[in-house]
């Protein structure tokens, strides 16, 4: 699915009532720029426009996403166990990128939801191509040390590839 309604452009004004929650719970972690509004526009144009039969507007679409996110804290699961399926009961699709040392790094985690946009379901298929190696690294966010440098521990996750 991609941009089901090209006339429905992203309007950040519609998110004003939930802007604080969006900034806390749906931020962009892309480097070097972390422009969350660009991420939200992309999400709306690629996926949200396909849900106009379910949600009345952009705010409702993003609220549904925030509600689903509150059910599964993927970052916490990865930091604690590294086993998403075991913690959630659902098998997500994952995509990876390769770092400059050639290691496969977790980039995105995709869950499937029902037609109402409110419950997770097992994905009938994965529309995301397999881009991860058998073992991927998840780099928790860098923490500043007393010397001002950053320390980034790696967590290796075994995929079912």
pLDDT, tens only, 114-141: 888 888 888 877 665 667 776 666 555 5
Residues 45, 10 contacting (CB under 8 angstroms): yes
Cα 64 from Cα 38, distance rounded (Å): 19
Confidence of residue 71 (pLDDT cuts 50, 70, 90): confident
Do the first three CATH levels of 1-71 and 73-161 match, i.e. the same topology?
A: yes
Structural domain spans, the chain: 1-71, 73-161
Q: Is the pLDDT of residue 161 over 60?
A: no
Q: Does the pTM exceed 0.75?
A: no
Q: Would you say how long the chain is, in residues?
A: 161
CATH 3.40.50.720, domain 73-161, yes or no:
no
CATH code: domain 1-71 is 3.90.730.10
Query: How many other CB atoms are there within 10 angstroms of residue 15's CB atom?
Result: 22
At residue 57's C-alpha, the angle toward residues 75 and 13, to 5°, is: 80
- Sign for the CA dihedral angle at 10, 75, 95, 67 comes to negative
Q: For residue 51, give the DSSP letter.
A: G
């Amino acid at each position: 699915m991609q941009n089901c309604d090209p006339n429905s452009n992203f309007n950040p004004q519609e998110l004003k009532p939930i802007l604080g929650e969006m900034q806390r719970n749906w931020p962009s972690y892309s480097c070097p720029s972390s422009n969350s509004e660009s991420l939200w526009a992309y999400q709306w144009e690629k996926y949200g426009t396909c849900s106009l039969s379910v949600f009345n507007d952009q705010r409702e679409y993003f609220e549904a996403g925030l509600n689903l996110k509150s059910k599964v804290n993927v970052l916490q699961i990865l930091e604690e166990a590294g086993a998403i399926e075991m913690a959630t009961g659902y098998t997500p699709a994952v995509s990876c990128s390769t770092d400059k040392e050639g290691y496969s790094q977790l980039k995105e985690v995709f869950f499937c939801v029902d037609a109402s946009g409110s419950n997770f379901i097992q994905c009938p298929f994965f529309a995301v191509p397999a881009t991860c190696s058998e073992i991927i690294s998840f780099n928790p966010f860098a923490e500043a040390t007393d010397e001002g440098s950053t320390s980034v521990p790696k967590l290796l996750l075994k995929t079912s590839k």
